[in-house]
Amino acid sequence: MTDAPGEGARVRQRRRALRTLVAGVALGSTGHIAASTVASIAADEIAGTSALSGAPGAAVVLGAAAGATILSLIMARRGRRAGVTLGYAIGVMGATLAIGGIVDRSLPLLMVGTVLVGFGNSSNQLSRYVAADMYAEHKRASAIGIVVWAATVGAVLGPNLIGPAGVVAEAIGLPKLAGAYLVPIAFVGIAAALSFAFLRPDPFELAEPSETTPDPDARAATIADLVRRPGVAAALVALVAGQAVMVLIMTMTPVHMTAHGHGVETVGLVISGHTFGMFALAPLSGRLTDGFGTGWVIVAGLLVLAGASVMAAVAPPDGGAVLFIALFLLGFGWNLGFVAGSTMLTQDVEVAQRTRLQGMADSLIWSMSAAASLGSGVVLAAASYTALALLGVALTVVPLWLFVTRNRSVARTAS
């Protein structure tokens, strides 16, 4: 069977667009992670107190939540290319302002720049949905997995560029800490240029022709209408619950380890294992989702998260190896739910409505990140790391019950 006229060109255009999105996420995540790594240090130096050192983390989350909403609206009206490119451009602007804040020792300017760096990171996050839009339902999870995997490059490369970038900064007369923000100016700037030049035609135009046919009823549906759909509600539950469990435990693990005598090298190794689990196995998560369906992969992800939380709870204080495995599984469980949940969010939703819905979903995810990050410190201070990890187990119970009963109902209907 031969391709229909024009289908061969469409396949090639999709591949080019997917490569562009992957390159953009690899470059964008490198710049974002480099900047985020030193943001709290810069704030501490400028303010002269550690009381405000957590403010940049909150600013990044605030910027990401705002970016998810605003960029998704732009994508819905102007196309995916416009939204992705604008997000990266704003990230470059934020890094430039942050350098100005470090040079002038202005905390407000640093905070504004950090918010915009977080805003730019929304282009990285929304790129997975842009990739999914181009493919038929049975291939979307694999496309999402490939784009999510690209963030592995940033997770590895970003922190390692901080030192060399500091040397470059001092060579051109800037403070050493400002060097970390030169990374996003260069890398995110390239991502913006690639998106502008190579996301042509717009990924929306590369969707299946049957999905781009105008549907007046679909365009009239509100976000509230979409959220009431069972599949959409289930996807949101999966994405938010997975984010809550992952951030809750991951955030306080370095604090717990250092309090029990682990050195920074051991802490770094454990967090590296966690990051590997979060991103590197995303293509596997995509293939599993395409093969077994979104619901069962989400269940698997929740079970892995619950198991990882139990391991973290029972790990001995000096058990670096146990914590390494627990944090790796915590990352992998999150990845399974993230890829499958993102895929579920594209099902039974018209392509014309997806971007607004997906922007809202990512805003919820980032808001949950902020809440879980703040809450984790409160729980650790009031109780213990064990209690924190057991809370992570508890947070998987209701979503697990919902998905298991949902999948059983679907199986009975199918039979």
Residue 349 contacts residue 226 (beta carbons within 8 Å): yes
Flag whether 1 is in a domain.
no
Does one domain contain both 304 and 201? no
| For residues 33-53, average pLDDT | 80
Distance CA 404, CA 143 (A): 26
Confidence band of 32 (pLDDT split at 50, 70, 90): very high
> How much is the mean pLDDT over the chain?
88
Does one domain contain both 255 and 395? yes
Ranges of H-type helices in 263-293 = 264-279, 282-292
Does one domain contain both 402 and 279? yes
Flag whether 2 is in a domain.
no
- Domain carrying residue 45: 7-213
pLDDT one-digit tens code per residue, 138-185: 899 999 999 999 999 998 888 889 899 999 999 999 999 999 999 999
Does one domain contain both 141 and 70? yes
What's 85-135 look like in SS3?
A: HHHHHHHHHHHHHHHHHHHHCCHHHHHHHHHHHHHHHHHHHHHHHHHHHCC
Per-residue pLDDT, 4: 45
Flag whether 367 is in a domain.
yes
Q: What is the pTM of this model?
A: 0.87
- Counting the structural domains of the chain, the total is 2
Confidence band of 208 (pLDDT split at 50, 70, 90): confident
Helical packing angle, 320-344 and 264-279, nearest 10°: 30
Distance CA 409, CA 142 (A): 26
Kindly state the tokens that stand for 275. 């990051």
Does one domain contain both 286 and 182? no
Distance CA 107, CA 55 (A): 10
Flag whether 27 is in a domain.
yes
Q: Report the C-alpha dihedral over residues 384, 390, 395, 398, rounded to 10 degrees.
A: -150
- Looking up residue 306, the CATH number of its domain turns out to be 1.20.1250.20
State which of 213, 241, 262 marks the end of a domain.
213
Flag whether 284 is in a domain.
yes
Flag whether 414 is in a domain.
no
Confidence band of 7 (pLDDT split at 50, 70, 90): confident
What DSSP state is assigned to residue 329? Answer: H
Per-residue pLDDT, 286: 97
Q: Report the C-alpha dihedral over residues 14, 20, 25, 31, rounded to 10 degrees.
A: -170
Does one domain contain both 146 and 188? yes
Does one domain contain both 202 and 218? no
Does one domain contain both 24 and 172? yes
pLDDT one-digit tens code per residue, 328-380: 999 999 999 999 999 999 887 888 788 889 999 999 998 888 888 878 888 88
Flag whether 35 is in a domain.
yes
State which of 195, 213, 231 marks the end of a domain.
213
Does one domain contain both 155 and 221? no
Does one domain contain both 157 and 235? no
Does one domain contain both 234 and 165? no
Flag whether 271 is in a domain.
yes
State which of 213, 248, 263 marks the end of a domain.
213
Does one domain contain both 135 and 14? yes
pLDDT one-digit tens code per residue, 8-30: 888 899 999 999 999 999 999 99
What's 136-182 look like in SS3?
A: CHHHHHHHHHHHHHCHHHHHHHHHHHHHHHHHHHHHCCCCHHHHHHH
